[in-house]
Amino acid sequence: MDDHILIIDDEASIRFTLERALRREGYALTAVASGREALQKLTETTYDLLLLDLHLGEVNGLQILHAARQRDEDVVVIILTGQGSLETAVEALRLGAFDYLFKPALPDVIRQRVQAGLRKRQRARQRRHILQQIDALRRALQQLDEEENSPTHAMAQENGRFLRSGPLVIDRHHRVVTLYGDLLDLTTTEFDLLACLVEAAPQPVSAQILLQQALKLDGDKFEARETIKWHIHHLRRKIEPDPTQPRFIKTVRYKGYFWSSE
């Protein structure tokens, strides 16, 4: 076990009893006889649990309790007290101590309360870690929302979604096309062919590239030319005012086809 326990009591017999009760549990134990030594240890090491006598003379137990919780708010403090100082022990509970034990406590009782205190510390640390993760996620979501609602992001989204050329608008998200505001009834292949041409405009696109990009097929020049020629014929019938005199989808001999918005 990695739990580190600091025992603070000015009575050697009490320190011996506590160490003997806890050593077989595998805890890392440190024992000191004064409040001043305890404060020094707290600056050197992080402790999971303190077994703390309240009456230590120059530096008392409440001062140590306050110092320990300033360094680690989840540290578990179990007060060691005599019957006559119960009121002070209750005050320690109010200030954040986990529990108190009357001296001399039975070994089984000591072990049980220490185990309970360490379980409480583990739960508190887990809860704090989860809350930190939730807070980090909340901040990340807030940042995403701010970015998505920013004009720059909205413009980038629109620029990525819509492809415009003259009277033609292609909506990549919904895969629809309008020409002069009228919705075109295109097949999937026709949509992809048109998008390839408009994206490449004003450069011509070969039949082989159109075959690969729009139809996701491979073929030689002859196969590509014949296949694409058939699809372009049907696409022109849906777009061109006069398919026999193409205005938008033009043929470039030996190079392929290109989109013209003029």
From-to residues of CATH 3.40.50.2300 in the chain: 4-137
Which one, of 210, 236, 204, 237, lies nearest residue 224 by Cα? 210
Q: How far apart are CA 184 and CA 176, in angstroms?
A: 7
Which one, of 150, 179, 151, lies nearest residue 163 by Cα? 179
Pairing of strands 49-53, 76-81: parallel
Q: How far apart are CA 236 and CA 247, in angstroms?
A: 9
Question: 120 Cβ partners below 8 Å, 6+ apart?
Answer: 76, 98
Query: Does residue 201 sit in helix, strand or coil?
Result: coil
Predicted confidence at residue 151, as pLDDT, reads 59
Q: What tens-digit pLDDT sequence spans the chain (262 residues)?
A: 578 999 999 889 888 989 988 988 889 999 999 889 999 999 988 899 999 988 887 888 888 888 888 888 888 999 888 765 666 667 777 778 888 888 888 888 889 999 999 998 888 888 888 988 888 888 888 877 776 665 555 454 556 788 888 889 988 888 889 998 888 888 999 999 999 999 988 899 999 999 898 888 888 888 888 999 999 999 999 999 998 899 999 999 889 999 988 6
Could you confirm whether domain 4-137 is CATH 3.30.930.10? no
C-beta neighbour count of 131 within 10 angstroms:
10
Please name the helix (run of DSSP H) or strand (run of DSSP E) that holds residue 249, with its range, or none. Answer: strand 249-252
Long-range pairs of 34-41 with CB within 8 A, sequence gap ≥ 24: 34/8, 34/10, 34/58, 34/59, 35/8, 35/59, 35/60, 35/61, 35/63, 35/64, 37/8, 38/6, 38/8, 38/64, 39/63, 39/64, 39/67, 41/6
Q: Compute CA 30 distance to the chain's CA centroid, rounded to the nearest angstrom.
A: 38
Please name the helix (run of DSSP H) or strand (run of DSSP E) that holds residue 179, with its range, or none. Answer: strand 176-179
Distance in angstroms between the alpha carbons of the first and the last residue of the chain: 79
Question: 143 Cβ partners below 8 Å, 6+ apart?
Answer: none
From-to residues of CATH 1.10.10.10 in the chain: 159-259
- Percent of the chain exceeding pLDDT 70 equals 91
Which one, of 51, 143, 139, lies nearest residue 98 by Cα? 51
Q: What is the CATH number of domain 159-259?
A: 1.10.10.10
Q: Compute CA 90 distance to the chain's CA centroid, rounded to the nearest angstrom.
A: 42
pTM greater than 0.85 = no
Give the model confidence (pLDDT) of 160-177 as tens digits. 788 888 889 988 888 889
Give the model confidence (pLDDT) of 80-105 as tens digits. 887 656 666 677 777 788 888 888 88
Q: How far apart are CA 188 and CA 216, in angstroms?
A: 12
Give the model confidence (pLDDT) of 55-85 as tens digits. 887 888 888 888 888 888 888 999 888 765 6
Predicted confidence at residue 156, as pLDDT, reads 47
